[in-house]
Amino acid sequence: MGATGSNRTGDADQSKEPSRDQSPQPVCVVLSSESTPERAEALARALLERGLVACVSLLPVRSLYRWQGKLETADEVKLLLKTSPEQLEPLHQALHALHSYQTPEWILLSGSTWGDYGAWLAAQLA
């Protein structure tokens, strides 16, 4: 489910409010980057197929960073990997094994979600 709230389950009523009786679900968002859209999509699909993430958002970015003593600029694709705390270790291992970079970005943001999205995310990772 993307930021637009699109409903991929096929329910006709997309304006339905989130269920208020569900408790918050822990969610982890891992930020990483890949060099091309094709590599980013291949990585996203591999992680989804392994059940390590519920959703991956891909965003084009321009990165400026220091690498081996030099200032670098690169057009990259930012991956926002949405997962559960239980999947973090296997996700970390898979991302490092599958990534094209020598030092893949791994930034962890922890939070919570609830309602229909929280239930959907938990179900995808069960």
Domain CATH code at residue 52: 3.30.70.120
Nearest to 2 by CA among 102, 103, 82: 82
At 7 the pLDDT is 52
Query: For residue 87, is it within any domain?
Result: yes
Q: Among 75, 92, 74, which Cα is nearest to 83's?
A: 92
Q: Is residue 19 part of a domain?
A: no
Evaluate whether residue 43 is within a structural domain: yes
Residue 58, domain member (yes or no): yes
Give me the pLDDT at residue 4, please.
Answer: 43
Within a domain: residue 7? no
Whether 104 is covered by a domain: the verdict is yes
Number of domains in the chain: 1
| Element (DSSP H or E) covering residue 34 | strand 25-34
Specify the pLDDT at position 72: 96
Token pair for 116: 């229909």
Q: Which two tokens stand for residue 57?
A: 């958002």
pTM to 2 decimal places: 0.82
What is the span of the domain harbouring residue 93?
33-125
Residues of the chain predicted below pLDDT 50? 3-4, 9-18
